[in-house]
């Protein structure tokens, strides 16, 4: 019996390795749970190109937006666990369990983590002709005029939304949240002058800042960010305020371990490619590969963090 059990384990190992060596033999999908044009979509397309070159098969970005990203992620979680359906995991992912009354999938079981891709802060910014010249100006104006200033977000319960609420909590302000349906709508609103201040990912903000269409008041990282070295951190004015987002890759839960490891190795090679590495830097992020276990541990910690923010601000779950 012991020999039979050992033989079975050896067979499983060899079969898994053979499966990984033959993978992939057809195109892959990268399900992106947000509309085209947003920061997550930009990263998805850069990643797909890099993986295409490493894996030797097309990686097709498939946008499935809805419910702040839940719709597309749930779709990806319910596909065949064969490694051919990749799922883009963003900073919004650990917010789902904090904001939803019920989840259509288990975020730590129904999606298997593959690797982190990049990490980046948010930027708090305004249009160039705004009278707000610093984060101190924003806090002072908001305190003097509660409810008169507003900030747009890509939806209720998104990281953008909770970033603004965390700011209100720490600054003692009331800046009104105006939710939109994802994508680049918040950026459109601020550029059109219909919003006062923007809490947006570095990946989407930096191009507008460099083009002079937005003026950065602060970055939300712990230290000044190399892409905007002259921009102060929010903590320099508002101690304790820190928001760092990320993007990573997952696959349908239950995907065999050897396939997950094969994809993890492919991600690492893709991030090392000069073109991909340069593009991630240009987008304001830092290329950041990880093991599947490291990514899962990070996601679990972020879920607990945002649950505390939602509870502290008495934000109604959806």
Angle (CA) 122 128 131, round 5°:
100
Q: Which two tokens stand for residue 239?
A: 């101690």
Angle between helices 292-312 and 159-171 (to 10 degrees): 50
Kindly report each contact of residues 264-272 with a partner whose C-beta sits within 8 Å and lies 24 or more positions away, as own/partner. 264/114, 264/115, 264/289, 264/291, 264/292, 266/51, 266/54, 266/55, 267/47, 267/51, 267/114, 267/115, 267/117, 268/115, 269/54, 270/47, 270/50, 270/51, 270/53, 270/54, 271/50, 271/117
Q: Is residue 188 situated within a structural domain?
A: yes
pLDDT, tens digit (0-9, with 9 covering 90-100), for 179-205: 987 667 899 999 999 999 999 988 888
Residue-number span of the structural domain to which 169 is assigned: 121-236
Q: Is residue 13 situated within a structural domain?
A: no
| Mean residue pLDDT across the chain | 90
Q: Which band of pLDDT confidence, cut at 50, 70 and 90, is reported for residue 8?
A: very low
From 32, 28, 24, 23, select the one nearest 248 (Cα to Cα): 32
Residues 220 and 307 in one domain: no
pLDDT of residue 150: 98
From 44, 201, 30, 180, select the one nearest 119 (Cα to Cα): 201
Residues 204 and 289 in one domain: no
Give the CATH number for residue 107.
3.40.190.150
pTM: 0.79
Q: Mean pLDDT over residues 71-88, rounded?
A: 97
Domain count, the chain: 2
Residues 231 and 126 in one domain: yes
Q: How far is CA 250 from CA 95, 215, 296, in A?
A: 16, 34, 10
Q: Mean pLDDT over residues 253-282, rounded?
A: 93
Give the CATH number for residue 139.
3.40.190.10
Structure-token match 């820190």, residue found: 242
Please give the Cα distance from 229 to 294 (Å, whole number).
29
Residues 171 and 212 in one domain: yes
Residues 129 and 226 in one domain: yes
From 55, 61, 50, select the one nearest 270 (Cα to Cα): 50
Residues 96 and 132 in one domain: no
pLDDT of residue 116: 96
pLDDT of residue 279: 84
Please give the Cα distance from 193 to 308 (Å, whole number).
33
Q: Which of 201, 236, 271 corresponds to the end of one domain?
A: 236
Q: Which of 236, 253, 285 corresponds to the end of one domain?
A: 236
Run of H or E residues at 190? helix 185-191
Q: How far is CA 164 from CA 15, 122, 172, 243, in A?
A: 50, 11, 12, 10
Strand partners, 85: 29
Q: What phi and psi, each to the nearest 5 degrees, are found at residue 280?
A: -60, -40
Q: Which band of pLDDT confidence, cut at 50, 70 and 90, is reported for residue 144?
A: very high
Q: Mean pLDDT over residues 227-243, rounded?
A: 94
Residues 66 and 215 in one domain: no
Residues 208 and 290 in one domain: no
pLDDT, tens digit (0-9, with 9 covering 90-100), for 13-54: 545 566 677 899 999 999 999 888 877 888 899 999 999 999
Cβ atoms of residues 218 and 237 within 8 Å: yes
Residues 226 and 151 in one domain: yes
Q: Is residue 101 situated within a structural domain?
A: yes
Residues 227 and 275 in one domain: no
pLDDT of residue 167: 95
Per-residue pLDDT at 90 exceeds 60:
yes
pLDDT of residue 16: 53
Q: Mean pLDDT over residues 156-169, rounded?
A: 89
Residues 229 and 287 in one domain: no
Q: Is residue 131 situated within a structural domain?
A: yes
Cβ atoms of residues 173 and 146 within 8 Å: yes
Q: Quick one: what percent of the chain has pLDDT higher than 70?
A: 93
Q: Is residue 305 situated within a structural domain?
A: yes
Cβ atoms of residues 198 and 127 within 8 Å: no
Asked which of 16-25, 253-262, 282-291 is least confident by mean pLDDT, the reply is 16-25
Q: Is residue 197 situated within a structural domain?
A: yes
pLDDT of residue 183: 65
Q: Is residue 37 situated within a structural domain?
A: yes
Q: Which of 177, 207, 236 corresponds to the end of one domain?
A: 236
Residues 188 and 50 in one domain: no
Q: Is residue 6 situated within a structural domain?
A: no
């Amino acid at each position: 019996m012991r020999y039979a059990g050992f033989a079975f384990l050896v067979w499983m190992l060899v079969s898994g390795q053979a499966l990984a060596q033959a993978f992939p033999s057809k195109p892959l999908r990268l399900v992106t749970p947000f509309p085209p044009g947003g920061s997550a979509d930009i990263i998805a397309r850069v990643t797909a190109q890099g993986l295409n070159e490493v894996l030797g098969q097309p990686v097709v970005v498939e946008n499935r937006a809805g419910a702040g990203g839940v719709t597309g992620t749930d779709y990806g979680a319910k596909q065949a666990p064969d490694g051919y359906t990749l799922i883009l995991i963003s900073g919004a992912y650990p917010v789902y369990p904090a904001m939803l009354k019920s989840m259509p999938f288990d975020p730590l079981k129904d999606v298997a983590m593959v690797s982190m891709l990049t990490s980046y802060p948010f930027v708090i910014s305004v249009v160039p002709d705004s009278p707000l010249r610093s984060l101190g100006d924003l806090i002072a104006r908001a305190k003097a005029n509660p409810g008169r200033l507003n900030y747009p977000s890509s939806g209720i319960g998104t990281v953008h939304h909770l970033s603004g609420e965390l700011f209100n909590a720490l600054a003692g302000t009331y800046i009104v949240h105006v939710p939109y349906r994802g994508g680049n709508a918040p950026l459109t609103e601020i550029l059109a002058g219909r919003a006062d201040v923007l809490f947006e990912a570095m990946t989407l903000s930096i191009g507008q800042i460099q083009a002079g269409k937005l003026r950065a008041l602060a970055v939300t990282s712990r230290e000044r960010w190399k892409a905007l070295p002259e921009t102060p951190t929010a903590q320099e004015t508002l101690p304790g305020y820190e928001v760092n987002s990320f993007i990573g890759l997952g696959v349908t839960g239950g995907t065999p371990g050897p396939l997950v490891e094969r994809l993890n190795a492919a991600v690492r090679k893709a991030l090392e490619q000069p073109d991909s590495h340069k593009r991630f830097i240009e987008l304001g992020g830092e290329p950041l590969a990880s093991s599947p276990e490291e990514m899962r541990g990070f996601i679990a910690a972020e879920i607990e963090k945002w649950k505390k923010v939602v509870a502290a601000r008495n934000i109604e779950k959806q």
